[in-house]
Amino acid sequence: MDQSPQPVDGPAVRGTSPVLGVVGWTAVVVVSVNVPLGTGLMVVEEAGAGLGGLGFVLVLAAFVAVVPTVVLGFPLGLLTAWSLRSVPHERLHVAAFALVGAVTATAMAVVPDLWAGTETASPPPATVLVYALEGALGAGGGRWAAGAVRRRRASRARAPHDAGVAA
């Protein structure tokens, strides 16, 4: 029997399958943020782009959100979950995932400028802030959603047993 502490609010989100769940929920959250942002930017910059342009922006926004989330999020999620294995409070897990997401997204804002060889090697502060907020919202929100799903499943699994004891 597993003697490792579980988060107080529900079962632990640790291991390959639960972290894949976090990555999936993170992708959903980030796509939900990127698509409106991309659409808004397109409307502001190119008012006459039409439906073809809008479709391209939606696909690009989703691609830009999902690929880094999967490629970076899975190994970082495993590492973060492993490092939090003895922390029993789910709120701390959500906060830690949000911090990892913010730092990772901020690094992603800087890396393209480093590759391009720009003199400053840093994007405008507003861009960095948007990346950090999106990363924190995506990873923290993904961790929260994955935990909520696991709590719901655990309560459903206990419900028939609890109902039988009460009768």
Give pLDDT, residue 3.
47
Question: Which comes out higher in pLDDT, residue 154 or 93?
Answer: 93
Please write the tens of the pLDDT for every residue from 50-85: 666 667 767 777 777 788 888 899 999 999 989 998
Kindly report, residue by residue over 99-141, the tens digit of the pLDDT: 999 999 888 877 766 655 666 656 788 888 888 998 999 999 9
pLDDT range class, residue 1, cuts 50, 70, 90: very low
User: In the 3-class helix/strand/coil scheme, how is the chain assigned residue by residue?
Assistant: CCCCCCCCCCCCCCCHHHHHHHHHHHHHHHHHHHHHHHHHHHHHHCCCCHHHHHHHHHHHHHHHHHHHHHHHHHHHHHHHHHHCCCCCCHHHHHHHHHHHHHHHHHHHHHHHHHHHCCCCCCCCHHHHHHHHHHHHHHHHHHHHHHHHHHHHHHHHHHHHHHHHHHC
